[in-house]
Amino acid sequence: MDYLSELLGGKDIIPCGPLLVDSGGDHPQEGTAAAESDQVMRWLDGQEPGSVVLASFGSEYFMSEQQIAQMARGLELSGERFVWVVRFPKSPNDEDHRGAARALPRGFAPARGLVVEGWAPQRRILSHRACGAFLTHCGWNSVLESLAAGVPMVALPLHIDQPLGANLAAELGAAARVPQERFGEFRAEDVARAVRGVVRGEEGRALRRRAGELREVVARNDADDAQIGELVRRMAQLCGKGQRVAVPN
């Protein structure tokens, strides 16, 4: 909170949350997406604990062909097992839709992982015993879900506010950064090195310990609504034009 307050010129920060729904609602109830979700979870059931990297970059950002190529090569070079969620913008013409089969590099055959197009049950994957790291853009929801699951992050912010989430996760000791010479640009070799470091390296062991500690903190805060009450009191004071307003507990 001190970090955010400093960025905002010393303004008070009232934390509310984490505002997370139960992971049981993290999957569709019917259709193709539900079948693909079940396939992912069955595949995870067959993997060793902490051996899989979830790579997902949110619902608001679509990677360029160059970024997809570097990511595909980086995941292959890492030698780790992975679930990679790839999203593409919808096209009014189905023939113009840039699906995974057309967008992935020629010859890319993920023998050690799964490529899921469009949607995957992120919270369920993060909570699975096989998930050992989260390669993420560090959008705020993804950071919260990773902390709630106790999974260390490999941070690769790509646009808008994501560097803030990445910096915060790294400062908390829960994330390693993928080097970027320019915002949104990254090299396959750097992705591979960062992923291996978190899954197998000494840095990864330290990050996992810290992620476990933060998971307990998140769980305690999730059960405590005192922060919401403080927010309500502050808002009531503002609505009262600076006058103190009695707010029922």
pLDDT at residue 201, rounded to an integer? 93
Sketch the domain layout of the chain as residue ranges: 30-89+97-242
For residue 110, the model assigns a pLDDT of 74
Is 189 within 8 Å of 74 (Cβ atoms)? yes
Q: Sign of torsion, CA 53 56 57 61?
A: positive
DSSP string, 230-249: HHHHHHHHHHTTTS------
Q: Which two tokens stand for residue 31?
A: 């259709």
pLDDT of residue 99: 63
119: number of Cβ within 10 Å: 16
Comparing C-alpha atoms, which of 135, 134, 137, 133 is closest to residue 183?
137
- CATH level 3 topology of 30-89+97-242: Rossmann fold (3.40.50)
- Is residue 84 within 8 A of residue 55, CB to CB? The reply is yes
Cis peptide before 89 (omega within 30 of 0): no
Could you read off the pLDDT tens digit of each residue along the chain, which spans 249 residues?
A: 787 788 888 888 887 767 776 555 565 545 667 778 899 999 999 999 999 999 999 887 889 989 999 999 999 999 999 999 998 877 655 554 556 666 788 777 778 899 998 889 999 999 999 999 999 999 999 999 999 999 999 999 998 889 999 999 999 999 999 999 888 899 999 999 999 999 999 999 999 999 999 999 888 876 566 677 778 888 888 887 555 555 555
- Res 91: pLDDT: 62
Surface-to-core class of residue 169, CB atoms within 10 Å of its CB (0-12 exposed, 13-18 middle, 19+ buried): buried
CA distance 137 to 166: 8
Token couple for 220: 């305690």
The pLDDT value recorded for residue 31 is 60
